[in-house]
Amino acid sequence: MAEKLPPVLNCIVNDCEFWGEGNMCHATSIWVGGDHPTCDTYERAEHHEYQADQASVRQCDVDICRFNESAVCHAPGINISWHSGHADCVTFEQG
């Protein structure tokens, strides 16, 4: 059986299209990217869109994170926060 993808437990980036009350992410799933643990699904918007109760991490390309294995995040869940005007995974740990 496929392993459950880790949920986005908390996101405080409240100008994102998928942000909702209680610091929930309501995207179906998110992508975390590249050289830096940025939430690539972040989209600045005037309105909020509801796609799902709670987003999960579909893919993460931050291969220097200790939770990353072949672009899959194995953390029990992740938190997203502001970093220099964009959204970052703050569960990231180098290792």
User: Which residues of this chain interact with ligand SF4, rule CB under 6 A?
Assistant: 8, 11, 13, 16, 18-19, 25, 27, 30, 32, 37, 39, 41-42, 55, 57, 60, 62, 65, 67-68, 73, 75, 78, 80, 87, 89, 91-92
> What is the rounded end-to-end Cα distance, in angstroms, of the chain?
28
Cβ proximity to ligand SF4: between 46 and 67 the closer is: 67
- Give the shortest CB-1-to-ligand SF4 separation in angstroms: 21
- Give the shortest CB-64-to-ligand SF4 separation in angstroms: 9
Cβ proximity to ligand SF4: between 1 and 75 the closer is: 75
How far apart (Å, rounded) are the C-alpha atoms in residues 38 and 40? 6
**Residue 67: alpha-carbon gap to chain centroid:** 13
How far apart (Å, rounded) are the C-alpha atoms in residues 3 and 35? 25
And the tokens for 6? 């880790």
